[in-house]
Structure formats: C-alpha cells, structure tokens
Structure 1
Amino acid sequence: MAFAKNGSVCIHYERMAAGDGPPVILLAGAGRPSTDFDYAFCAPIVAAGFVPIRIDSRDTGRSGALVDVMPDLHAIKATALGTGSAQPPYGIADMADDVLAVMGAERLEAAHFVGRSIGGLVAQQLAVLHADRVLSLALVMAMSRSMADAIPDALLDRLMGEDTPDEDAYVARQLGMAQANGMAGDYDAERIAEGARIAWRHGIHRGGTARHFAASLAAPDLRTALGALRVPALILHGRHDKVIPLAWAEETAEAIPGAALEIDETMGHDGPLRLRRAWGARIAAHLMAATARV
C-alpha cells in the first residue's frame, strides 16, 4: 500500500498498472472509496498504455478520516447562499492539495485527471490553481460550483443523521441509493451488494459523505476561472441524473474552452458495470487523443 502526507492528513493511493506510461489520476465521488474505479473501468485505459492511479480521497477508504466531526450542513448551505458564516471541516482546495501530495510522492510533474462527481470538482479546482500539472480532464457527472441552491434540506437531514454501523447496513443503504438514483434497468441487487461489500471492506467512514457534501456546498464558483484552461476536456453525463442535473454539466462544458459534452440517454447517477466499461473505453480514447495533441 502507498501513502502520501498532506500535513496531518494521510492519503492512500494505488497504481493500477505497472510501467512508466502517462499517469492518470482517478478521483471518486462523495463518500466513495477508490474501489469505484475497478478493473473493468481501468482495463481499456491500461490497454491504451496509461497508468491509472486511484486515490482514496480524505474521509474514504484507507485515507485519514475525521470520524468525530459532523458538520452542520444547513449552516454551511446558508453560508453558500450568502446568509451565514459556517465553514466546512475542509474544502475542495484542501482535497486538491491531497492530490498534489500524491503527485509529489510519485514524483509526477503532471498527470491526466478523471473525476466522478465531487472528484471532478476537485480535479477542476486543481486545474484552476495549477494548470501546468493537468494534462487533460475527464469528468463523469460534472459540476463546477456549489449546488447549495439545488440540494434539498431533506437530503442534508438524511446525511447528518445517517448511521451505517456495519456492512449489512451499508449494503442496504447502497441498494436504496441505487433504486433512487439509478436506472431501473440497471438495478441488480447482487451486483450492487457485491460492490457495497468491496467498498465497506476497503473503508467507509462515519460521516464521510456528509463531510464531502460540506466541502461541495462551500465550493467556489470555478466557471470564470475555467475559461483560462487550455487542456482537452471530456464530460460524460446522464440525461436522468437526479443528483447533479444535466444543466450543471452543460454549464461546466460551456465554461471550459473546447470541452466535449456527451449525454448518455440511459444513465442516471450510478455506475453499473455496463457504464463503467463504456466510461473506461471512452476515456481511454480521450486520453489517446489528448496525448497525440502534445
């Protein structure tokens, strides 16, 4: 196992292939460990000659977690909307610094980035602050600013009150999330339960999803700064995404010069095997095209 240090925070990461091919850093969604980027996703990227490096964001997997800290998401939302002063335990910029720590540990001057949901927001923040470290962006389920004006209070209540004390409880949670956010045709209880057990055993931390939501609620609006980027960017988004509406992906694509937005008519806010394979193949082609441009 490999770890990097950003101050007092320890970040776990894993190379998914040997060799010295161009590195591709993989950043997962809110509260989710790096195991979401499994071998089905990584295989076409590796076959194209790249080296995926999947990172457990802080509060996920084997990275450091603030399990005794529960933010007031309503207060942080109010601040984002201009009526408060509450701050999250950490911000998107701190999570971007975690990625820089991994790059330092691996002696990487620059890398390609793949981010899913909040992972894509972290990748964009890093690109804005350190454009020379980013070779390309591939964003799955994309947003480029706080969603404070779109997240219902009921969801914040659920996140702050969420209790998953054991593996079976987490499996039940993920089954419910898949029913709520995925496509009915993709609902495969056995597949979802297997993925949930893999994630739980790798590391699911109490309150981790809430703390990630706190960071995303407090996220800066990156749209203006994204206009200065000159890197190849691909955005993959589902027409039926109930968590990050399509309009948020569209505005991200409009903000990044030359970005390609591809809308999947059969995709919600979920990652079934058929989509993971499709994402991996499409992103591999994007990476090859980005490399050819250099």
Structure 2
Amino acid sequence: MPEVQVNGIQLHYDEQGSGEPMLLIMGLATQMIAWPPPMLDALQAKGFRVIRFDNRDIGLSTKTDAPRPRRKDVLAAAASARFAKSDYLLSDMADDAAGLLDALGIDSAHVVGVSMGGMIAQELTIRHPEKVRSLTSIMSNTGNRRQGRPATTFLPALRRSMMAPPAETLDQAVDMGVLAWRQISGPQFDEQEIRSLVRAAVERDPDPIGRVRQLLAINASPDRTPALRKVTAPTLVIHGLLDRLVTPSGGMATAKAVPGSRLLMFPDMAHDLPRGRIPEIVDAITANAARAGQAAPAAASA
C-alpha cells in the first residue's frame, strides 16, 4: 500500500477510479478499511477518483512518539475543554489531509468525512478553502460541546470502551471491537461483516492507544462554529436520527452554521453507514459535488 510523507509524518493511503478527486476522511479510532466497499465502488462508478487514508495514530500511518495518555487526563479533557491537552489538534490532522492532496498533485478535491473525519473535513475547508470543491460532513458536529454530545445513557459504555486495557489475545480484541461497533450501530448492523472488518483492523494495528490520542485531539480543539459561517464550498450534512455517539443536534448545528448547506437525516441510521442507505448517500454526495460546478479550482485538470 502506498504512503507519503506529509506534515512530518507518514500517511498510508489508497485510491481507486479516475475523474474528479474525492478525499474520504475516516473517524475516531477507525481505519480507512472501514469505508464500505459498496460505497467506494458506487462513488467510483459515479466518476470519482476515490482517495482514502489512515489518519495519524491509526492503521499503518505514523504513531505519535510521546508518553501514553493517563486515564485521569482523558477524563478531565472529557469534562472540560479547559483541561484538555493533546499532542496535536484536529487542525493538524486537517493539514495532514491537505498535505496528502499536495503529495498526490491534486489542487482541490471533494471532501467527505465521517464522525471525527467530518470534523477534520470541516477544518480542512476552513484552513484550506482553495483545496475543497465541496464538503460532506457525516454524523459529526461543530465542536460546540453543547451540541452533538454523546447521549447521557451512552456515556458509561463510551468511557469503558475508550479506556479499556489492551486485549490479551486477537480473539478478545475482535470481540471487544465488535461490541463497540454494535453499541454505536443502527438496526442494519451486520455482525459477520463487522467481525471480519474488526479482525482485519486489529491485524493491521494491534495497539489501541491511537484512539485515545485522537479523542484528546477532539476535546482539545476549539469550536468551529464561527469559522463555519464563512464556508462557501457547497456543503451537505448527513446524520442519523438514532445516533447516540454524536447525537443529531450535532448535524443540525453544522447545517445551521454553514450558509446554504443541505441537511439529510435518516430515521434508521445511527453512528454508522447503513448498507441499505448507501445508494441514497452516494447520490446525495454526488449531487452536492455537482453544485461546485465550474467554480471549483482546477476542476478541468484534476
């Protein structure tokens, strides 16, 4: 699998298809292999050059060389932004994404992010507006802690999952991963499919500490709402009404913040990409990309 050096780190990436570039940014503790193959194939069939990558601290990309975060620091960061300390911020991860586009010789791309990836995609659009033809933010939020917070009933499970000690065996790690996916997914959860995905992810990256570092980056990053009000890229916001990890108010706040954005919410979607909804999601992303039209920088030469 190819890799590039950007922003002082190595990023592993993959691409398929040809046409207008579309950069996919995955979420917290989740590797690029989590993008559903039917979604990748459908986007390619729509005429996009689909690029995905492992964020820093996950998968095959660079891991932070620093002391492991302490449990008390993680809990303090979750309680208040004042106590949140991180080795990097979401803005640094957005610069990673911008660097990947530069390394691939891409002036601008359509950008799609899910969960933390949506936060990174928003930061990319804010910090490097010339690089973003269109923005799709899925099951994410603006960084305002009053909106898109985990459901109160879900917080204990979330804390147990994030702070769990490393598994002692591969099978135990897979079981823990499947349980975490089940807790955030909606009614279309496919255990066999997720078990296969989790096993592949654990084999690629057996040390889960990256998820804690990424969580600290989220908690330490500022509210993006004021900057989102200045975004001019065509923007689509997608959210599930069943989402307990990033509750629907996060998506609604994002759509409200970005002028001219469009909001699409699914009643049977939680914090996942339901296979039955992928055709609609891909059609919506494609329609949003089309809104960029000829105004997108370098659209004819990419």
**TM-score between both structures, scaled by the size of structure 1:** 0.89
Is residue 6 of structure 2 the alignment partner of residue 3 of structure 1? no
Match of 2:113, SS state, is strand
Match of 1:285 in 2: 287
Query: In structure 1, what residue type is equivalent to 2:221?
Result: A
Indicate which of 19, 22, 25 corresponds to 2:23: 25
Match of 2:100 in 1: 102
Q: Give me the whole-angstrom Cα distance separating, in 2, the residues matched to 1:147 and 1:204.
A: 31
Shift of 1:171: 2.1
Deviations 1:219-242 (A, max 9, x none): 211111111111111111000100
Q: 1:276 to 1:199 in 2, by over 3 A?
A: farther
Asked if residue 181 in structure 1 is aligned to residue 184 in structure 2, the reply is yes
Alignment of 1:114-263 (within 5 A): 114-145=112-143, 147=145, 150=149, 154=156, 155-156=158-159, 158-183=161-186, 185-263=187-265
Residue 244 of structure 2 aligns with an amino acid whose one-letter code is: K
Give the conservation status (yes or no) of the 8 Å contact 1:31–1:60.
Answer: yes
Let me know the Cα RMSD of the aligned residues: 2.3
SS of match in other structure, 1:163? coil
Aligned counterparts of 1:4 and 1:146: Cα–Cα separation in 2? 33
Q: Which moved more, 1:65-74 or 1:21-30?
A: 65-74
Aligned length: 288
**1:292 & 1:169 partners in 2: Cα distance?**
51
Instruction: Report the Cα distance in structure 2 between the residues aligned to 1:231 and 1:65, rounded to whole angstroms.
Output: 32
Match of 1:54 in 2: 52
TM-superposed CA distance for 1:265, in Å, is 0.4
Q: For residues 173-202 of structure 1, give each alpha carbon's deviation from its aligned partner in whole angstroms, at most 9, with x where no partner exists.
A: 23212332222x323321221121232234
Q: Which amino acid aligns with 2:282?
A: G
**Counterparts of 2:34 and 2:128, CA distance in 1:** 26
Q: Is the 8 A contact 2:7 2:95 kept in 1?
A: no
Paired amino acid for 1:288 = A
Distance 1:206 1:7, change over 3 A: same
Amino acid at match of 1:48: K
1:134 Cα deviation after fit:
0.9
Aligned residue for 1:245, secondary structure, equals coil
Amino acid at match of 2:102: G
Corresponding residue for residue 300 of structure 2: none
Unaligned regions of 5+ residues in structure 1, if any? none
How many Å apart are 1:168 and its aligned residue?
Answer: 1.8
Contact 1:44 1:281 in 2 (8 A): no
Q: Is the 8 A contact 1:27 1:54 kept in 2?
A: yes
- Taking structure 1 as reference, are residues 260 and 186 closer, same or farther at Cα in structure 2, changes over 3 Å only? same
- Corresponding residue for 2:299? none
Tell me, in whole angstroms, the C-alpha distance in 2 between the residues paired with 1:76 and 1:180.
Answer: 23
Give, in whole Å, the separation in 1 of the partners of 2:169 and 2:286. 36
Taking a change above 3 Å as real, the CA distance of residues 230 and 246 of structure 1, as seen in their structure-2 partners, is same
Query: Per-residue deviation at 1:246?
Result: 0.6
CA distance in 2, matches of 1:271, 1:207: 25
Unmatched 5+ stretches in structure 2 = 297-302
- The 3-state SS of whatever aligns with 1:242 is coil
TM-score (norm 2): 0.87
2-side partners of 1:237 and 1:280: how far apart?
Answer: 14
Deviates more, 1:92-101 or 1:36-45: 36-45
